Amino acid sequence: MSAVAVVTGASRGIGRAVARGLAERGYTTIATARRPSAAEATAAELAQHGDVRAEQLDVRDARSAARLANALDAAHGYVDVLVNNAGILYDTWQRPSSADLDQVAEALDVNLLGAWRTLEALMPLLRRSTRGRIVNVSSGAGSLAGMGSGTPAYGVSKAALNALTIKLAAELSPTGILVNAVCPGWVATDMGGPGGRPVEDGAASVLWAVDLPDDGPTGGFFRDGRRIPW
């Protein structure tokens, strides 16, 4: 039986590159995207790299997450790896004293609650794994230690995702499921814009936390395999 890995936001950018890396490692890789056609396009494009299957998942929608969990339960009965990658709203145009709170709510809904909804829906399946890994794709912009006034919605949502990482890791520590937050670095994607590093490098930073041995760290914040400050 092959190990099963789920990636959110696999339609493009770092999520698609992570899906490719998982397929190359031999995982049955579930490439999810909010538009079914985008998930199917990713699966078709990555077919040459391994077993990649398309599933719809809008991380804002609890019913979508429940439907995914049911489909994976029927097809596999377990999930070994969850990469919470979907993310939005790098709000360089805002400052905290005047931020549009609808945009703040949107960022929290995808970047924090989206990861939370997905992991809650998949938790029964992850608990059946013998080597569970949950990787929350975070950002240095969520580091309280270096936080400035820029990107308030995004930064607060990623700081909250980091807090969730610590809490979940503490709860799951007896189960052997490793839960970590990872910053992919500045990556040249639609979100990162031109000038960042190649998408494969960002994906490698994320995949490091998938590849951890069973006695590897949990509840940490990493970039390129090195701890970074909360």
Ligand X SMILES: NC(=O)c1ccc[n+]([C@@H]2O[C@H](COP(=O)([O-])OP(=O)(O)OC[C@H]3O[C@@H](n4cnc5c(N)ncnc54)[C@H](OP(=O)(O)O)[C@@H]3O)[C@@H](O)[C@H]2O)c1
Could you give the CA distance from residue 126 to residue 133 in angstroms, rounded to a whole number? 8
Contact, 33 vs 11, CB < 8 A?
yes
Q: Which of 85, 205, 107 is nearest to 151 (CA)?
A: 107
List beta partners, residue 135: 83, 180
Name the DSSP letter for residue 141.
Answer: G
154 in catalytic set = yes
Of 97-105, 127-135, 144-152, 191-199, the segment contacting ligand X by CB under 6 A is 191-199
Nearer to ligand X, 79 or 183 (CB): 183
Spatial contact of 39 and 31, defined as CB atoms under 8 Å apart:
yes
Among 52, 86, 156, 204, binds ligand X (CB under 6 A): 86
Binding flag, residue 29, ligand X (CB under 6 A): no
Judged by CB under 6 A, which of 14, 65, 153, 203 binds ligand X?
Answer: 14
Q: Is 189 in the site for ligand X (CB under 6 A)?
A: yes
Per the CB < 8 A criterion, the answer to whether 69 and 123 are in contact is: no
Verify binding: residue 118, ligand X, rule CB under 6 A.
no
33 in contact with ligand X (CB under 6 A): yes
Per the structure block, which two tokens stand in for 27?
A: 């995982």
For residues 213 and 192, give the distance between their C-alpha atoms in angstroms, rounded to a whole number: 30
Annotated catalytic residue, options 27, 78, 90, 154: 154
Amino acid at 11: S
Q: Is 43 in the site for ligand X (CB under 6 A)?
A: no
| CB of residue 140 to ligand X, shortest distance in Å | 7
Spatial distance between the Cα atoms of 212 and 97, rounded to a whole number of angstroms:
40
Q: Which is nearer to ligand X, 58 or 91 (CB)?
A: 58
For position 35 contacting ligand X by CB under 6 A, the verdict is yes
Angle among Cα 178, 114, 81 to the nearest 5 degrees reads 30
**Residue from 28, 29, 85, 162 that binds ligand X (CB under 6 A)?**
85
**The one among 52, 55, 79, 87 contacting ligand X by CB under 6 A:** 87
Q: Check residue 223 for interaction with ligand X (CB under 6 A).
A: no
- The single residue listed with the structure tokens 């609650």 is 113
Q: Does 139 sit near ligand X (CB under 6 A)? A: yes
Rounded Cα distance between 119 and 47, Å, is 26
User: Which part of the chain contacts ligand X (CB under 6 A), choosing from 31-39, 145-153, 165-173, 221-229?
Assistant: 31-39
Q: Which residues bind ligand X (CB under 6 A)?
A: 8-9, 11-15, 33-35, 38, 57-60, 85-88, 110, 114, 137, 139, 183-184, 186-187, 189-192, 196
Catalytic residues: 154
